[in-house]
Amino acid sequence: MKLSLLLSILLASIMTLSAAEVPKITPAEAAQRVKDGKAVLVDVREPSEWAETGVAAPAVLLPMSDLQGERKLWQPFLDQNAGKEILLYCRSGNRSGKVAAKLAQEGKTVANVGGFKEWTDAGLPTRKVETP
């Protein structure tokens, strides 16, 4: 019993350390890095969500489901943006954190911008998207 508790604590610590490797930045910081040409902003939500709420004006739209699947959209994007920082957001910051952690494990420079609401609350520009 004590060993299983120890293993659980160790696993939780490792998972916390992995999440800590991905920096969290503000939408204003993200907008500036994109404007300076140092980074690319990515919305990892699904197409229905983009159509429902709109997206950050400079965002590239790449659903998390494609990253976890065939990478038909993600792989060309990653190839074209090699060397740039990838800034990610979603609805709440949860999915973007998961995507950021996965990309960081693959050696990409990433940051989590959090949720779309944080972007809009900061007064940053958005755009409408039609359902594909």
Instruction: With beta carbons less than 8 A apart as the criterion, state whether 87 and 34 touch.
Output: yes
Whole-prediction pTM value? 0.84
Two tokens at 98?
Answer: 């998961």
How sure is the predictor about 15, in pLDDT bands with cuts at 50, 70 and 90? very low
Amino acid at 88: L
Looking at the predicted structure, is the pLDDT value of residue 76 above 80?
yes
Calculate what percentage of the chain has a pLDDT beyond 90: 82
Q: Cα–Cα distance between 69 and 59 in angstroms, integer?
A: 21
Which pLDDT belongs to residue 119? 98
Domains of the chain are 22-127 (3.40.250.10)
pLDDT band at 70 (very low <50, low <70, confident <90, very high): very high
Distance set, CA 67 to CA 2, 45, 76, 87 (Å): 38, 11, 11, 15
